[in-house]
Amino acid sequence: MPQFSCILFDLDGTIVDSAPGITATLAYTFEQLRLPVPSPAELVAYVGPPILDSFRDLARFTPEQSQRALEIYRVQYLKTGVFDATVYPGVADVLKAIRAHDVPLSLATSKPETPATLILEHYDLLKYFDVITGASDDEKRSAKADVVEEALKRLTEHGADISRPVMVGDRHHDVVGAAAHEVPTIFVRWGYGAPAEEVGTIGVVDSAAELQRLLLG
C-alpha cells in the first residue's frame, strides 16, 4: 500500500515548464503598461507564486496597478501563452502510476483553474486527476494555503481519504502553504525553486523516477 492516502500536485515548475509562456506574457504586460521590462532572469522569479503576489512583491505595484496588470496579463496569457509549455520528462508516467495505484490525486496550483485545466487537457493529463484545484479565476483564492485547503475539501467530497496527504511542488510557497494544513511536501529540483526553498520538506528528488519511488514505493 502506498504510504500516502492522497496526493496534491503543483503545476508550474512541477508538471510543466511553463516559464516561456508566462515570462513572454509578463514582458508584454510591462510593455503595455509603458514600464521597463525586467530581465529574463528577473521574470522567471514571477513563475510559481500567485501572480498578484509577484506584482506586489517583485514589481512593487500598488493594488490598483496590480489589478490593471492582471487584466492585461490574463487576456494575453489565454490568447498566446497558455500552451507555450513543456511537460517535464517522466512526469506523465508518474501521474499514470498514481492512477494505476488508485491513489486520489488533486491539482493544487496557484494558477487559475481555467488555464490550468486547459494545459492539462492539451497535454492529455487531465484524465489522471480526480480533482482540479487552483486559484479562482478572479484570483481571490490564490494563496497556496487556501488552494491546499480547497483541494483537501474537494478530495473529501470526492470520497478520498485525506488522513495521509502529501504535496509535490518546486517552490517555498508550496512547502509553506501545505504546512499550514499539516501536509508534508516532496520538493522537485527540476522546477524554479532555489536550494534554500527545500527547507521543511520531507524529501527532495532530482528525477521523476525518484519521485515515483517516494510516492508509491
Q: Which tens digit of pLDDT belongs to each residue from 166-200?
A: 999 999 999 999 999 999 999 999 999 999 999 99
- What per-residue string of b and e applies to 167-182 under the rule 16 or more CB within 10 Å gives b? bbbbbbbbbbbbbebe
Q: Which tens digit of pLDDT belongs to each residue from 36-68?
A: 999 999 999 999 888 999 999 999 999 999 999
Grid cell digits, residue 207: 528525477
User: How much is the average pLDDT of 13-25?
Assistant: 97
Q: How confident is the model at residue 2 (pLDDT cuts 50, 70, 90)?
A: confident
The CA distance from 186 to 165, in Å, is 11
Nearest to 90 by CA among 19, 14, 18, 20: 14
Q: Does the pLDDT value for residue 116 go beyond 80?
A: yes
CATH code of 19-81, in short, is: 1.10.150.240
The CA distance from 214 to 143, in Å, is 26
Q: Which tens digit of pLDDT belongs to each residue from 122-166?
A: 999 999 999 999 998 877 788 999 999 999 999 999 999 999 999
Q: How confident is the model at residue 217 (pLDDT cuts 50, 70, 90)?
A: confident
Q: What single DSSP character describes residue 120?
A: H
Residue 55 burial (CB count, 10 A): 23
Q: What's at 77, amino acid-wise?
A: Y
Q: What's at 139, amino acid-wise?
A: E
Q: How confident is the model at residue 33 (pLDDT cuts 50, 70, 90)?
A: very high
6-17+86-216, CATH topology level = Rossmann fold (3.40.50)
Q: Does the pLDDT value for residue 5 go beyond 80?
A: yes
List every span in the chain annotated with CATH 1.10.150.240. 19-81
pLDDT at 50: 87
Q: How confident is the model at residue 79 (pLDDT cuts 50, 70, 90)?
A: very high
Alpha helices (runs of H) in the chain, residue ranges in sequence order: 19-32, 40-44, 51-57, 63-76, 91-100, 113-122, 144-157, 172-179, 208-216
Nearest-5° Cα angle at 42, 39 to 46: 130
Residue matched to cell numbers 494544513: 181
pLDDT at 156: 98
153: Cβ–Cβ under 8 A, 6 or more apart, which residues? none
pLDDT at 1: 63
List every span in the chain annotated with CATH 3.40.50.1000. 6-17+86-216
Residue matched to cell numbers 515570462: 23
